[in-house]
Structure 1
Amino acid sequence: MTTPIYVGYYFTVTPLQPASDILIAELGAVGFESFVETEEGVEAYIQKQEWNDAILEGIEILSSDNFKITFTYEEIEQVNWNIEWEKNFDPILVDDICSVRAPFHKQPDVKYDILIEPKMSFGTGHHETTHMMIQHILENGFENKTVLDMGCGTGVLAILAEMRGAIAVDAIDIDNWCYVNTMENVTRNLAKKVQVFEGDASLLTGRNYDIIIANINRNILLEDIATYSKCLNTNGQLFLSGFYEEDLEIINAACERNKLKFISSKKRNNWIAASYLLK
């Protein structure tokens, strides 16, 4: 397989938060695939074939008076992404119960130990949304449930759902890097009940689940909430993340229109992970 050529952007951000999180979210929406948070700001990477010289014109935070953001960029060819993420990937521990780590990290004494090599994919557990979704999975019953992990990224949530007792898990992502990486991580964790698919919500026709997990972004969630509702079994649960606290009202309204009752939410650095129950 030919190694993709990437364009790398190097942002200096002042103050770092919440500007770095907002910047990452906006860059992800226009096609950037991988991010590294640094002491100065953010590194972001996009495949050259997806890039154009006007790619940043829609990034609103760059024109905000509340933050100072500068950047440089360059074309990068044949980067060893494993080396890049290994330099920046520390093991994650969630509530002293679940770890997310790389094979080169020491094995911790926890109930759920997930091994990943994220490469270019999103969802290492470092980001607030993934962390909170892991907490939702740990706090809710998954035994003998059928589960959908929509926008699966590295496959962490799908793998944990099986570890928590799910009998069948579908993991779906529209991004080929994520699709391939999830399959690799499913094999790495000996997950036997996770099936991985490349695509979007159009794949859900005729499928039904007890639990749906969707950690994507606000706009995609708003487009797909109706589909999620139709796919849920009676008393089915929906867990959503990838949006900010100020977006919770519009997300709740969309869920209410689709027979989904708001149950609770978690907040971490202005990011929200909410749970709903099919009425």
Structure 2
Amino acid sequence: MDVLARRFEEHRTHLRAVAHRMLGSLAEADDAVQETWLKLARAGADDIDNLGGWLTTVVGRVCLDALRARRLRREDPLEAHLPDPVIGPEDTGHPEAGALTADSVGPALLVVLESLTPAERLAFVLHDLFGLPFEDIAPIVDRTPVAARKLASRARGRVRGATPSREPDPATQRRVVDAFLAAAREGDFEALVAILDPDVVLRADNGTLTVVRGAEAVAGRAAVFRRAAGAATTRPALVNGAPGLVNTLGGGLLSVMGFTVAGGRVVAIDILSDPARLARLDLGGLGVDLRACRVDRPEKR
């Protein structure tokens, strides 16, 4: 069993990334990975030629079942909340940094994925994001490979145009984010408007999602954020694989800010400040005491 557990751990990061794309929740992703481990522990690996492929197929089925169950329960869609961010240290020499960049996607894509049917989402995620062939995807969704290809194609059509393209250079992204932060700290409205795309979208989730559109409207909110932050400490971090900000006060987490940068400007800002959800985040060794974020109220999805 120890050997089997070690082999499974070699695939855990990949499985968690797949489950996060499928479910949009890190807590649910961890549950799906745990269920995948239990299935492997019961089945054993003696008759499995390709363990990575087998595990990806199993976690895909687990997530597909979870998405279908979610729809049957008529739960509130994830559009009502920001998906859980993936956070890590902004250090290219850090062993986790490259994996975070490769294994993270922005909230805009996760929100679009939530609008797909479970089968479309699985076909798109497994093929387009993780390169699984349609011959392997087809049995998971009870379709032929041709039908699975059509599912992914329909999903791809929904995704295109709905998610902004990121600036590919991390250093350029960081310079733009730093310029935004400097302007916000100074309360320089004109500088903020200049660094924001005219059609920028701000999504702020403090338990209820607020969406603000347009450079001037977002710049006005940034000034409010500056005043509210007060003595908070702002730390650079990777948020969903791109340069972002983690705001703390006395070691406790206040908010996590993710940015999408394109064409030298900020085109999207995502701020998570819901204390119940912040307390569950894995901050990837940033040194933030999550105990200071805990609240005595029911957790939100």
State the TM-score, normalizing by the size of structure 2: 0.28
State the TM-score, normalizing by the size of structure 1: 0.29
Return the index of the structure with the highest Cα Rg.
2
Q: Kindly indicate which of the two structures has a greater share of residues assigned to helix.
A: 2
The structure, 1 or 2, with the larger RCO (C-alpha pairs under 8 Å, 6+ apart) is 2
